[in-house]
Structure 1
Amino acid sequence: MDFVLNEDQEALESSVRRFLMTEMTPELIRELWHTPTGRSDALWQMIAAQGLTAVSVPETHDGLGLGEVEWSLLAQTYGYFAGPEPLLDTALVAVGLLDGLPASEARDALLRDIAAGSARVAIAHPVNPYVADAHVAQVLLAGRDGELHWLTPHACRLNALESVDPSRRLFELDWTPCAATRVASRETAAPLLAGALDRGAFAVAAQLLGLTQRVLDVAIDYSAQRKQFGKPIGSYQALKHLLADVAIRYEFARPVVYRAACAIADNDPQRALYVSHAKLAATAAAQLAARHAMQVHGAIGYTWELDLQIFMKRIWALANSWGDTTFHKARVAAALIEDRAPMGPARTFELES
Structure 2
Amino acid sequence: MNFTFTEDQLMFHDSVKSFLTNEVTPERIRELWESDTGRSSELWGQLAELGLTAMTVPEAFGGLGMNELDFVLLAEECGYTALPEALVETVMVAVPLISSLGDEQAEFKESWLSRIATGEARVAVGHPDNPLVPDAHVADLLLLANGDEVHALSQGQVQLTENPSVDPSRKLFTVEWTPSTETLISGAGIADGTAGKQLWQDALDRGALAVAAQQLGLARKMVDLSVDYTFERKQFGKPIGSFQAVKHLMSNVAVQIEFAKSPLYKAAYSVAYGLNSRAKDVSHARLVTTDAAMLGAKNGIQSHGAMGYTWEVDLQIFMKRAWALASSYGTQGFHKQRIKQFILADEAQLGAGSTFA
| Interval of TM-score (by shorter of Structure 1 and Structure 2) | over 0.9
Match of 1:162 among 161, 164, 168: 164
What does residue 73 of structure 1 align with? 73
What does residue 190 of structure 2 align with? none
Contact 2:78 2:88 in 1 (8 A): no
Match of 2:232 among 205, 209, 225: 225
- Structure 1 residue 89, shift from structure 2 partner: 1.7
CA deviations on 1:137-165 (whole Å, 9 max, x unpaired) are: 00011121111111111111111101000
CA deviations on 1:310-342 (whole Å, 9 max, x unpaired) are: 001000001111111111111111222236331
Structure 1 Cα separation of the partners of residues 79 and 346 of structure 2:
33
Q: Quick check: 1:312 aligned with 2:319?
A: yes
Superposition map of 1:174-193 within 5 A:
174-185=176-187, 186-193=193-200
Match of 1:234 among 241, 248, 264: 241
Q: Quick check: 1:89 aligned with 2:96?
A: no
Contact 1:223 1:234 in 2 (8 A): yes
Relative to the length of structure 1, the TM-score reads 0.97
- Structure 1 residue 346, shift from structure 2 partner: 5.4
Q: Quick check: 1:120 aligned with 2:122?
A: yes
Relative to the length of structure 2, the TM-score reads 0.96
* RMSD of equivalent CA atoms: 1.2
- Structure 1 residue 106, shift from structure 2 partner: 2.4
Structure 1 Cα separation of the partners of residues 92 and 53 of structure 2:
8
Counterpart residue type for residue 54 of structure 1: A
Counterpart residue type for residue 332 of structure 1: I
Counterpart residue type for residue 109 of structure 1: S
Change in CA separation of 1:37 and 1:254 when aligned onto 2, cut-off 3 Å: same
Secondary structure of 1:122's match?
A: strand
Structure 2 Cα separation of the partners of residues 146 and 338 of structure 1:
27
Structure 2 Cα separation of the partners of residues 23 and 335 of structure 1:
42
Change in CA separation of 1:48 and 1:346 when aligned onto 2, cut-off 3 Å: closer
Counterpart residue type for residue 96 of structure 1: P
Contact 1:239 1:296 in 2 (8 A): yes
- Structure 1 residue 2, shift from structure 2 partner: 3.7
Structure 2 Cα separation of the partners of residues 98 and 2 of structure 1:
32
Moved more, 131-140 or 102-111: 102-111
Match of 1:267 among 270, 274, 286: 274
Question: Gaps spanning 5+ residues in structure 2: where?
Answer: 188-192
Counterpart residue type for residue 313 of structure 2: L
Contact 2:88 2:210 in 1 (8 A): yes
Change in CA separation of 1:330 and 1:180 when aligned onto 2, cut-off 3 Å: same
Identical columns (%): 49
Secondary structure of 1:338's match?
A: coil
What does residue 27 of structure 1 align with? 27
What does residue 58 of structure 1 align with? 58
Structure 1 Cα separation of the partners of residues 342 and 145 of structure 2:
24
Runs of 4 or more, structure 1, over 6 Å off, are: none
- Structure 1 residue 344, shift from structure 2 partner: 2.5
Match of 2:217 among 210, 214, 217: 210
CA deviations on 1:178-228 (whole Å, 9 max, x unpaired) are: 111111114111221111111100000000000010000000101111000
Counterpart residue type for residue 311 of structure 2: W
Secondary structure of 2:181's match?
A: coil
Contact 1:276 1:329 in 2 (8 A): yes
Structure 2 Cα separation of the partners of residues 155 and 338 of structure 1:
45
Moved more, 339-348 or 312-321: 339-348
What does residue 107 of structure 1 align with? 109
Contact 1:54 1:114 in 2 (8 A): yes
Secondary structure of 2:344's match?
A: helix
Match of 2:202 among 195, 200, 217: 195
What does residue 145 of structure 2 align with? 143
Question: Gaps spanning 5+ residues in structure 1: where?
Answer: none
Counterpart residue type for residue 21 of structure 1: T
What does residue 133 of structure 1 align with? 135
Contact 2:89 2:207 in 1 (8 A): yes
- Structure 1 residue 345, shift from structure 2 partner: 5.0
Contact 1:54 1:63 in 2 (8 A): yes
- Structure 1 residue 241, shift from structure 2 partner: 0.7
Secondary structure of 1:260's match?
A: helix
Counterpart residue type for residue 238 of structure 1: A
Structure 2 Cα separation of the partners of residues 309 and 284 of structure 1:
17
Contact 2:39 2:85 in 1 (8 A): yes
Secondary structure of 2:70's match?
A: helix
- Structure 1 residue 63, shift from structure 2 partner: 0.7
Counterpart residue type for residue 88 of structure 2: L
Structure 1 Cα separation of the partners of residues 67 and 225 of structure 2:
31
What does residue 299 of structure 1 align with? 306
**Total equivalences in the alignment:** 350
Secondary structure of 1:53's match?
A: coil
Structure 1 Cα separation of the partners of residues 3 and 77 of structure 2:
17
- Structure 1 residue 88, shift from structure 2 partner: 1.5
